[in-house]
Structure 1
Amino acid sequence: MSELEAPSLEGAYRENSEGWIRLHIAGSPRQRGYQHGYLLANELRAALREIDYLLRIDTGIGFDWFARNAEALYMKVLPKAPDGFGEELLEELQGIVDGVNAATPDDPALTLADLLGWNGYPEMICQWYPAVMSGHITPNEPLPWDRHATHAGPLRAHHFHHSCSAFVATGDYTADGGPVAVHTTWQRFANGDAYNVLLHIRPESGHDMVMQSVPGYVYSSTDFSVTGGGLIVTETSLDVAGFEVDGLPEWLRTRRACQYGDSIESWCALFSDGNNGGYVNTWFLAEVNTGRIAAYELTLNHSALQPPLTSGYYAGCNIPLDETIRAQTGSGATAWSNLLGSAGRRIRWDQLMAAHRGNIDQDIARQMLGDHGDMYTGEDCASSRTICGHLDNDNGQYSAGQGPFYPWGSLDGKVATAGQAKALNFDARWGRACGAPLDVEAFLSRHPQYGQYRGHMQDRPSRGWIKARAV
C-alpha cells in the first residue's frame, strides 16, 4: 500500500437527521477511508461490539475468529482483483482503520482484519461458515471445537428465508413512465441498528454513489444505491449455499459494479467477474436514462438475467425468479407457492402492481412498501408474511420458521424515482417502512424470552422520510 497522505477531513461531511447519519467522503482511497473512519468511529466500534455478542449467540464463536479467517481469506484474493480494484479497497479500508484509531486513541487499536471480517460478515455467515461446518471448507484458523462432535443444528438458524422486500417498475406501471425502485431491509433488530448510514462516496475514478450503508463498510450491504452511472441498484437476498475461497468477495464485486457500471449489462458483467458465490441475491437494476429495468441472479454455479423491460416490473421476496435456480439450489422450489413463507409477499406485490398500474410515483411507492396485506389470513395485519415485515407482531401460529414474536422485521424504507436518481438522491425512512414505532422495553416486557437482547436493541420511534443525497 502507498504511504498515507496527510490525513484530511476537508470536504468530508456528517449530519444526523431522523435517525440517519448522512456521510459524504471524497478523495483518494486512503483519504476517503480516513474521513469515514474518523467521522463514524464511535458507531463503528459499537457495531463491532454488537456483532461479537450476536455471533456468540448464533455460533458460539466470537468475532475475532471470523476476522482472522477473513484476513487470511481476503488477503489472498484482493490483490488479484482486476484493474487494481482490490488494492484500492484495501487502501480505503486501511484509511478507515487509521481514522477510527485517530478519533478514539484511548480504545484498543482497530485492525485491518477487523474491517475485513466486518465487510465480509454477510457472505461469511451466510455461505462461508455453513461450508466450514459441513466440511466443504477448511478455515485457516481451526474451529475452537470439533465440528464432528458438535450438533450444529440449522446452520443459518438466524438467517430466515424471508428477509427484505423490493420492486423495480417502469413504463406503463409508473406515473411518469420512468423507473421507480423501492426496498425495505428485514433483519433482526439487534443486527440492524447499525444500518443507518446514508453514504455519498465521490471516488477519484468511476462514478459517485449514494447508498444506504453501515459504519465501516465500503459498500452498501443493505443494497440500495443510486449511481452517477445512471443506475438504481437494489436486491432481496436468497438462501443459497456454495462458496469458492479463491473467488472475489461479494462486497468488492458489488462496489466495483456500482462504481464503474453504466448499464444493466455492464453492471452484471462487473459483478459476476471473479464470483465466489457469496451473499446471493435477486438484484433489481434500473437505467434511469433509458427506462430499462431487469432482475439478475448469480449463485456459485448458476446465473440468470431476466429480460430487460421498458414496461413492466420485477418484485422480490427472497424467492429466486429463475426456475432453474429455484429447482437446482433448493432455495424456493416449494416456497414459490407457500403462503406461510415468502409466497404471500410475491402474490401481494402482483396485487398492488395491478391496483396501482400507471400511477406509481414517490407517494404510492411509499404506501406499497408499508403494506400489511397478509395473503394467508386474508387480513390487513402486519406479520412475518407482509411486505412490511413485523415478525415481532406475529404469534407464530402460522410460522415459517421463526419463534413467536421474534424481534426481526422491516428496519427502514427507501424509494427512488428516475428523477431522483438522476440527481443522486432517494427517499429514506429509518424505522419500519410503515412508520410504526418499536418500544424495546415494552416489547421485552411482553416477550421476556428475548431478554438476551436487552441492551442490544434500540427504540425505533416513528420517523419521517428524508433525502439521501450527494453533497
Structure 2
Amino acid sequence: MTTRRRHTHSRSSAARRSKRRSVPTPQVRTQEGWKIIHVAGTPQERGFTHGFLLHQELARIQEKFPFIVNEELRYPYKKYLATCRRTITPLLKTDYPEFYQEIQAISEGAKQAGTDIQVDVLVAWNALMSMYEYLHPAPKRRERSGRCSAFIATGKATRNGEIVMGHTTHTDLVSGAFFHIIMYVRPHRGVPFCMQTAAGCIASGTDWFLTEAGIVGCETTISDINYRPTFSPGHAPYFCRIRHAMQYGKSLDDYAAIMTHHNAGDYASSWLFGDVRSQEIMLCELGCKIAHVQRTRDGIYYGMNSAISPELRAQETDDQEFFNPQTSSGGRNARLHELLYKIHYGKLNPEIAQTILSDHYNVATKKRKPGATTICVHTYDDATDYAENYPHGCTDGKVLDAASARRMTFWGRFGPCCGRGFHAPHFLEHHPRYKKWCDVLESYPVHPWTQLHA
C-alpha cells in the first residue's frame, strides 16, 4: 500500500530518510521448506529486523490477505481492516504498548526493504484468528473440518518418562503456506523463545512454541462457540495474551494466570502446556467465562477441536461432534484416544509422535483413507457433503521431547504430515468449483521431517 505525501512534507520526509535504520545482517536460513530467523533487542529493534528480513513474505501476505478475509471470514476486506482498527488497535496501544511498537517497527523494516505494509494491515493480520467468531458467531458447516490435532504426554505414557508433544496445523491452504517461519526471539526484557509463525505475526498464529524458561506449548481450537467475544478494556485478544506468556511467563502457574486474565473469549482453545524442567503438563481450556485447567506429571492431554471439559462444551459451545466418529472432531477424538492410550501408551517418543500426527485411519469407515475426519486432515481429498473437497487440510507438523526442548530444538515437517504433498494445478483441474482460488493457491512440495534449531 502507498500513501500520498504533500510537497510541504518534503523536509520531514528527508529527515526521516536521514534516520533510516542500519540494515540488519542477513539472518535467514532455509531448511526443508522452513525459514529460520533470529530477532533480538527492543521492540523497535526486533520488529525492524523482522520486517526487513521478511519483507518479501510480507508482500505475499499483503497480496493474498484480502482473499483470505473475503473467503474465510466472508467479510469485506476494507470493512475488516476498519473493524480491527476500531476494536483491536486501541487495546494494543493501551494494554500492550511494547507489542504495538513491535508491529510498528515491522512495518518500518519492511518499508525500508521495499515492501510498504501499513500498521493497520499488520494488526488485522495478527487478529485474524480472533475475529472469526466476533464477525460470524455461527460458521458454516463446511468450514468445520477443524483447526489442528495435538497432544502432550508425560510420566508413564512416554518411553523415558519425560514430556513428548506434537501438533499439526489444519487451515485453509492459502493461509497455511505463510506459516513456515521459525523465529527465535531474544527480547531486551523477559524470556527468549522460539515459535512457528508467519511474517508479520508477533505471536505464533499456529501456536507452537518453546522457551528458555523450559515451557513448551501448543493448542487446538474449540469449535462452535455460542457467544460473541468481547474486545474492550480488560478483555484482550488471545494473540496478545499468549505472546505476553511466552515472553514473560516462567512457570505453568504464570501461563494459566496470563491466559485467563483479561480473556476476551476470542479463539477459544484447548491449550497444552508443559514444563520440561519438572515434566509437569497442563491442559488449559478457555472459553469466555469458563476456564478448565488440569495438571499432571503422569498422563496425556490432547486436543481435536472439541472441548474436553463437559461443562465448557455444554455451556459455551453448540458442539455436537465430540462423540460422533463421522465428524472431524469426533473421528479424531476416537482415533487419538486409541493411539495415545492403547496402541502407543508407554512408548511415546518423537518418532512415534510423527507417526500419530501422520495417521490416516478413518474410525467410521475402518479404512485408511485421508479425509476431513483423520488426524492428518485432508479436507481437499474428501468428497463427502461434510467436506466438499474444500481447500483445507494439514499444512505442517511439529514434535518435540523434553531433551530437544531444553536445547531449543524440535522436529518439523512443512506440508502434510503424511508426506503426500499437495499439487495445486492438479487439484484445481479436478475441482473447478474452486477456480477463484487459482491465483492464490500454492502447491505444497514433499519435505521430510527435519530437526530445526537456532
Scaled by the length of structure 2, what TM-score is found?
Answer: 0.91
Structure 2 equivalent of residue 185 of structure 1:
169
Structure 2 equivalent of residue 114 of structure 1:
121
- Residues 280, 296 of structure 2: 8 Å contact kept: yes
- Residues 37, 216 of structure 1: 8 Å contact kept: yes
2:300 to 313, 316, 319: 313
Q: Which amino acid aligns with 2:64?
A: E
Asked if residue 406 in structure 1 is aligned to residue 396 in structure 2, the reply is no
- Residues 36, 99 of structure 1: 8 Å contact kept: yes
Task: Quote the Cα distance in structure 2 between the aligned partners of 1:155 and 1:352.
Answer: 30
Q: Which amino acid aligns with 1:92?
A: E
Structure 2 equivalent of residue 87 of structure 1:
97
Q: Which amino acid aligns with 1:20?
A: W
Asked if residue 78 in structure 1 is aligned to residue 85 in structure 2, the reply is no
Task: Quote the Cα distance in structure 1 between the aligned partners of 2:161 and 2:83.
Answer: 48
1:431 to 412, 415, 418: 415
Q: Which amino acid aligns with 2:259?
A: F
Following superposition, the deviation at residue 75 of structure 1 comes to 3.2
Task: Quote the Cα distance in structure 1 between the aligned partners of 2:344 and 2:72.
Answer: 41
61 and 244 in structure 1: CA distance in 2 versus 1, 3 angstrom threshold: closer
Task: Quote the Cα distance in structure 2 between the aligned partners of 1:43 and 1:32.
Answer: 17
- Residues 380, 387 of structure 2: 8 Å contact kept: no
- Residues 209, 225 of structure 1: 8 Å contact kept: yes
**What SS is found at the alignment partner of 2:368?**
coil
Following superposition, the deviation at residue 467 of structure 1 comes to 2.8
Task: Quote the Cα distance in structure 1 between the aligned partners of 2:361 and 2:141.
Answer: 26
Task: Quote the Cα distance in structure 2 between the aligned partners of 1:220 and 1:250.
Answer: 11
- Residues 8, 35 of structure 1: 8 Å contact kept: no
Following superposition, the deviation at residue 466 of structure 1 comes to 2.2
422 and 266 in structure 1: CA distance in 2 versus 1, 3 angstrom threshold: same
2:135 to 126, 129, 134: 129
Q: Which amino acid aligns with 1:448?
A: P
Asked if residue 28 in structure 1 is aligned to residue 14 in structure 2, the reply is no
- Residues 252, 275 of structure 2: 8 Å contact kept: yes
Structure 2 equivalent of residue 289 of structure 1:
277
Task: Quote the Cα distance in structure 1 between the aligned partners of 2:113 and 2:21.
Answer: 12
Size of the alignment, in residue pairs?
A: 432
Following superposition, the deviation at residue 346 of structure 1 comes to 1.0
Structure 2 equivalent of residue 420 of structure 1:
404
Following superposition, the deviation at residue 8 of structure 1 comes to 4.0
Task: Quote the Cα distance in structure 1 between the aligned partners of 2:285 and 2:228.
Answer: 14
**What SS is found at the alignment partner of 1:162?**
coil
- Residues 210, 227 of structure 1: 8 Å contact kept: yes
Task: Give aligned-pair identity as a percent.
Answer: 28
- Residues 51, 200 of structure 2: 8 Å contact kept: yes
- Residues 12, 26 of structure 1: 8 Å contact kept: no
Structure 1 equivalent of residue 147 of structure 2:
163
2:383 to 357, 379, 395: 395
Aligned ranges 1:252-401 → 2 under 5 Å = 252-306=240-294, 308-332=295-319, 334-341=320-327, 342-353=329-340, 354-396=342-384, 399=385, 401=386
Give per-residue Cα distances to partners, 1:78-129, cap 9 Å, x unaligned. 2432xxxx1110111011000111111xx5x3221111111111111x2221
Q: Which amino acid aligns with 1:66?
A: Y
Give per-residue Cα distances to partners, 1:182-234, cap 9 Å, x unaligned. 00000111221111111111101111111110110000010010111111110
Following superposition, the deviation at residue 256 of structure 1 comes to 0.3
Structure 2 equivalent of residue 219 of structure 1:
203
Structure 1 equivalent of residue 7 of structure 2:
none
Which deviates more, 350-359 or 67-76? 67-76
Following superposition, the deviation at residue 242 of structure 1 comes to 2.3
Asked if residue 19 in structure 1 is aligned to residue 33 in structure 2, the reply is yes
Give per-residue Cα distances to partners, 1:356-409, cap 9 Å, x unaligned. 12211111111111011110000111111110011111121xx4x332x22211
Structure 2 equivalent of residue 450 of structure 1:
434
Task: Quote the Cα distance in structure 1 between the aligned partners of 2:64 and 2:165.
Answer: 31
Q: Which amino acid aligns with 2:343?
A: A
Structure 1 equivalent of residue 77 of structure 2:
63
215 and 364 in structure 1: CA distance in 2 versus 1, 3 angstrom threshold: same
Q: Which amino acid aligns with 2:306?
A: I
Q: Which amino acid aligns with 1:439?
A: H
Task: Quote the Cα distance in structure 2 between the aligned partners of 1:59 and 1:14.
Answer: 32
35 and 157 in structure 1: CA distance in 2 versus 1, 3 angstrom threshold: farther
**What SS is found at the alignment partner of 2:296?**
coil
439 and 227 in structure 1: CA distance in 2 versus 1, 3 angstrom threshold: same
Scaled by the length of structure 1, what TM-score is found?
Answer: 0.88
Following superposition, the deviation at residue 156 of structure 1 comes to 5.0
**What SS is found at the alignment partner of 1:335?**
coil
- Residues 50, 109 of structure 2: 8 Å contact kept: yes
Give per-residue Cα distances to partners, 1:268-287, cap 9 Å, x unaligned. 10122211111111000111
Task: Quote the Cα distance in structure 2 between the aligned partners of 1:47 and 1:271.
Answer: 28
Structure 1 equivalent of residue 113 of structure 2:
103
Task: Quote the Cα distance in structure 2 between the aligned partners of 1:402 and 1:384.
Answer: 6
